[in-house]
Amino acid sequence: MIGKLKALATGPFAIAILIVALLSGGIAAGIVMQKRSDEAKLRQIAEQRRAAAIAAAGPPKPTLQVQPPSGPSPVAHRYIPLGEEFVSNLGRSVRFIMIEVSVGTRYGPQAEAILTTHKTALRAELLASLSELTYAVASKPDAQPMIAGRIADVLNAFIIEREKIKLIDEVLITSFVVK
């Protein structure tokens, strides 16, 4: 029996087993190397995507610390009319909205000066906001408070950008017509 094993270990069968073992080892090593290469490529792609997302987001935006204006401290709450009525089409329809607006603020004459300085731009911002409304939204029973809040947000965003102050505490719609 030992003689037969010796013959098998040194004969053509042993050579075939040795070749199969070497090929299997080579194939396994190739698979492992390919898997490592694929993982490296995936890590590189993920890193490129993260870099692209960071680049698309741009530089970090500074947080705005809204401070009251320097000078006199806030005074009693006061309402300032924004002048003539605002008339705008509702969306792309023939229907329109006409409103008169007053803003509530705690900054008295200083607020009037800022509102007067930016009057034309504020009118344009307000009209652009109104033109985005639809008839279905503007004709709802609860439309006035929603529109007043929207106007306050639009006007404050503009004033904060220019003057670095949250000037408007509330918006009052003193006349409201939707046709």
Tens of pLDDT along 111-161?
888 988 999 999 999 989 998 999 999 999 999 999 999 999 999 999 999
Q: Residue 176 and residue 85: Cα distance in Å, rounded?
A: 9
Together in a domain, 29 and 107? no
138 versus 60: which is more confidently predicted? 138
What's the domain count of the chain? 2
Split at pLDDT 50, 70, 90, the class of 50 is confident
**pLDDT at residue 1, rounded to an integer:** 57
Asked, for residue 70, whether it belongs to a domain, the answer is no
20 versus 179: which is more confidently predicted? 179
pTM, rounded to two decimals: 0.57
DSSP structure string for 61-108 = PPPP---PPSSSPP-S-EEEE-SS-EEEE-TTSS-EEEEEEEEEES-H
> For the segment 159-168, what is each residue's pLDDT rounded down to a tens digit?
999 988 888 9
12 versus 127: which is more confidently predicted? 127
Average pLDDT over residues 95-120: 89
Among the residue ranges 2-6, 27-31, 34-38, 86-90, the one predicted with the least confidence is 2-6
Asked, for residue 130, whether it belongs to a domain, the answer is yes
The distance in angstroms from the start CA to the end CA of the chain is 109
21 versus 89: which is more confidently predicted? 89
Asked, for residue 97, whether it belongs to a domain, the answer is yes
Asked, for residue 103, whether it belongs to a domain, the answer is yes
Asked if residues 127 and 119 have their Cβ atoms less than 8 Å apart, the reply is no
Average pLDDT over residues 16-41: 65
Together in a domain, 91 and 162? yes
Q: Residue 36 and residue 42: Cα distance in Å, rounded?
A: 10
Which residue range forms the structural domain that includes residue 15? 2-57
Together in a domain, 38 and 90? no
